[in-house]
Amino acid sequence: MASNSHSPSLEILVRGPEDFSLWTGPPFANDQPSVKLEKVNCINAKFSDDGSNLMVTKSNSLISVYDCSTAKEIRVFEVPNVVAAALSPKGTYLQTFQKPSGPQEKNVTLWSIETGAAVYQQSQKNMTKANWPAIQFSSDEATVCRLATNEVQFFDTGDFSKGVVCRLRVQGVAAAELSSLPGSHVAAFVPESKGIPASVQIFACGNASQSQPVARRSFFRCSTTQLKWNHGSTGLLVVVQSDVDKTNQSYYGESKLCYLTTDGMHEGLVPLRKDGPIHDAQWSYSGLEFAVVYGFMPAKATLFDKKCNPLLELGTGPYNTIRWNPKGKFLCLAGFGNLPGDMVFWDYIDKKQLGATKAEWSVTSEWSPDGCYFMTATTAPRLQVDNGIKIFHYNGSLYFKKMFDKLYQADWKPESPSKFGDIAELIKSLNLVQLEDKKPSGQGPPKSTQTSTKASSTNPPTQKPAAYRPPHAKNASAIQAELFGETPAEPLSKNALRNKKKREKQKEKKASDASSS
């Protein structure tokens, strides 16, 4: 286990409309981040999965690659009419997609970062979120594949000039997902066709010529799927979405969650205890358990082990997002997007809630690699106002807040969680100072701080706003309270107070007249 003193420092990439900067921390000296790399012009930026390299798109024909350890530019690629680009997980290769000018043009190119040379090219008609990157790598880059017509094709990672070295035939395959670590299996989705149900099948990569799946699940009423592998490549979660809900309960169609294991021990639906959509399903970083947020609002959240047995109920609420802490022990359950931004922080090992807070209008959210901080960001173009970054402690207390005129991106630089010390030791060293989260003023983080004493009391659950009541109803309740000799529940308006004083004076006058007569 890495010692705390030798742990890498945390870094945050912050991108505005025209440039990006790299911050170091948290923790921040004097409550403000220091800048490792000052404003570099770009239109996009993305880290490799291991955090070794940073890809910066500077124009529609210029892509730079930076070494993250030195923050220096190490390679520049000139690629005309580039539409999309992606780094391989270890930053060894750059993959680009160009607008095709002809039907047979090889417009997808794999470049070596080290030499700057193109190592492989292929043609691809269009690019969607589902089929990009076109060439998939396992996390260790030992297995590489691509989806083609009716087959999944594999490459020799040591020599791309050999082209396709192995083909896995899957009739009608529309999507494929390579397991991340190890890259031992690939999941293939075949849509519904001519009365034959849709299916998801798992194949072993080591013997791709053998076309018998190790696991399979069929579905009727299936429009799209999300395929989610765990670390260890032993289990696959399949979120099945249908455009139409036959029960007419949901305008957005219906969804199911299936679980398949590579040993064939489990091929079926996850036993959920509430009807409604699957909002989010995520594996823990260990790959030994997964969490699901599901059901009509208020949604329910449940943790399951790798045998699909329920481990812990996280309750119900306005939630649609699960974020697992990379160091284990903690998780955040939240409601973002069209929900009001409630967040609840859990210690799922000790089965207790640590704190609750809100991060309204959050577009992105993620734990820091050391597991001590949780960052949310409100970004354009999704939201054009109230753009900013909030960083919370592991228990939900607010640590840092900064507002921007326009913010397009805020990402942690990836690091292996194993480079940091034990999470219990890390959180002991935190100075838990909580900001008072005032309304956004556009003036940066609020100055006032208050020291929190206990984790459980750092951020009590926010009170629900009172329901709207028209003015006449408020006055009516005050009058009714007065008639029955009760104290009004709400403060009286100025007019009501004036009238009340008039009535009291009239009563006093009548009483004095009666006594004098």
Q: Tens of pLDDT along 434-491? A: 565 654 444 444 333 333 333 333 344 444 444 445 444 445 444 444 433 343 444 5
- Confirm whether 408 is domain-assigned: yes
Shared domain for 283 and 245, answered yes or no, is no
Please report whether residue 354 resides in a domain: yes
- Residue 442: what pLDDT? 43
* 283 and 246 in a common domain: no
Helix axes 494-516, 471-483, angle to 10 degrees: 30
Q: Residue 193 sits in a domain of what CATH number?
A: 2.130.10.10
Higher model confidence: residue 1 or residue 252? 252
DSSP assignment of 183-238 = --EEEEEE--BTTBPEEEEEEESTTTT----SEEEEESS-SEEEEEEPTTS-EEEE
User: Does 261 share its domain with 180?
Assistant: yes
Q: What is the pLDDT of residues 356-369, one digit of tens each?
A: 999 999 999 999 99
Within-domain flag for 304: yes
pLDDT of residue 222: 80
The answer to whether residues 292 and 373 belong to one domain is yes
Do 239 and 154 lie in a common domain?
yes
Rounded distance between C-alpha atoms, residue 197 and residue 169, angstroms: 18
Q: Flag whether pLDDT at 156 surpasses 70.
A: yes
Q: Are residues 80 and 114 in the same domain?
A: yes
Q: What is the pLDDT of residue 444?
A: 42
Torsion angles phi and psi, residue 347, rounded to 5: -95, 100
List 86's β-bridge partners, or say none. Answer: 95
Q: What is the strand order of the sheet 118-122 is part of?
A: 82-87, 93-98, 108-112, 118-122
- Indicate if the pLDDT at residue 62 is higher than 90: yes
- All residues at 6 or more sequence positions from 293 whose CB lies less than 8 Å from its CB, including other chains: 278, 279, 280, 281, 299, 300, 301, 319, 320, 321, 322, 333
For CA atoms 145, 146, 149, 150, give the dihedral sign.
Answer: positive
**Alpha-carbon gap, residue 172 to 167, rounded angstroms:** 14
- Per residue in 300-318, pLDDT (tens digit) is 999 999 999 999 999 999 9
pTM, rounded to two decimals: 0.80
pLDDT at 247: 55
The answer as to whether 331 is a domain residue is yes
Tell me: do 256 and 171 sit in the same domain. Answer: yes
According to DSSP H, which parts of 353-493 are helical? 423-428, 471-483
CATH of the domain at 100: 2.40.10.480
CB atoms < 10 A from the CB of 380, how many? Answer: 17
The answer on pLDDT for 501 being more than 70 is yes
Split at pLDDT 50, 70, 90, the class of 60 is confident
Q: Which of 396, 395, 403, 468 is nearest to 438 (CA)?
A: 403
| pLDDT exceeds cutoff 70 at 298 | yes
Instruction: Specify the number of domains making up the chain.
Output: 3
Query: Which of the residue ranges 277-291, 317-331, 395-409, 413-427 would you say has the lowest mean pLDDT?
Result: 413-427
Q: Is the pLDDT of residue 516 over 90?
A: no
**Residue located via tokens 């989260």:** 437
Whether 483 maps to a domain, the answer reads no
Across the range 378-393, mean pLDDT stands at 94
* % pLDDT > 90, the chain: 60
Average pLDDT in the chain: 84
- Residue 42 confidence class, pLDDT cut points 50, 70, 90: very high
- Specify the pLDDT at position 485: 38
3-state secondary structure of 145: strand
Query: Which of these three, 365, 384, 417, is where a domain ends?
Result: 417
d(CA 390, CA 403): 9
Tell me which H or E stretch contains 34.
strand 34-41
Is 349 part of any domain? yes
Identify the bridge partners of residue 77 per DSSP, sorted by sequence position.
Answer: 63
Q: How far from the centroid of its chain's Cα atoms is residue 98's Cα?
A: 28
DSSP 343: E
Claim to verify: residue 107 and residue 221 sit in the same structural domain: no
pLDDT for the residue numbered 300: 96
Is residue 265 located within the same domain as residue 311? no
* Whether residue 296 sits in one domain with residue 395: yes
Residue 210 predicted with pLDDT over 70: no
| Residue 36, pLDDT above cutoff 80 | yes
Region 388-395: mean pLDDT is 95
**Are 83 and 99 within 8 A, CB to CB?**
yes
pLDDT band at 411 (very low <50, low <70, confident <90, very high): very high
Model confidence at 69: pLDDT above 50: yes
pLDDT at 355: 94
**Residue pointed to by tokens 């008639």:** 483
At 101, the pLDDT band (50, 70, 90 cuts) reads confident
Question: 410 is written with which tokens?
Answer: 């805020």
The residue among 137, 158, 183 that closes a domain is 137
pLDDT of residue 436: 59
Listed range (115-119, 256-260, 319-323, 428-432) with the worst mean pLDDT: 428-432
pLDDT digits (tens, 9 = 90+) for 239-265: 998 876 555 555 567 889 999 999 888
Asked if residue 122 and residue 54 are part of one domain, the reply reads yes
Overall average pLDDT of the 116-134 stretch: 89
Looking at per-residue confidence, does 128 or 369 come out higher? 369
Model confidence band, residue 3 (pLDDT cutoffs 50, 70, 90):
very low
Range of the domain at 77: 42-137
Q: Which of 417, 437, 467 is the last residue of a domain?
A: 417
In a domain, 87, yes or no: yes
Asked whether residue 299 is assigned to any structural domain, the reply reads yes
Residue 105 is predicted with a pLDDT of: 85
Q: How confident is the model at residue 517 (pLDDT cuts 50, 70, 90)?
A: low
Are residues 134 and 145 in contact, defined by beta-carbon separation less than 8 angstroms?
no
DSSP 3-state assignment of 393?
Answer: strand
Is the domain of 333 the same as that of 216?
no
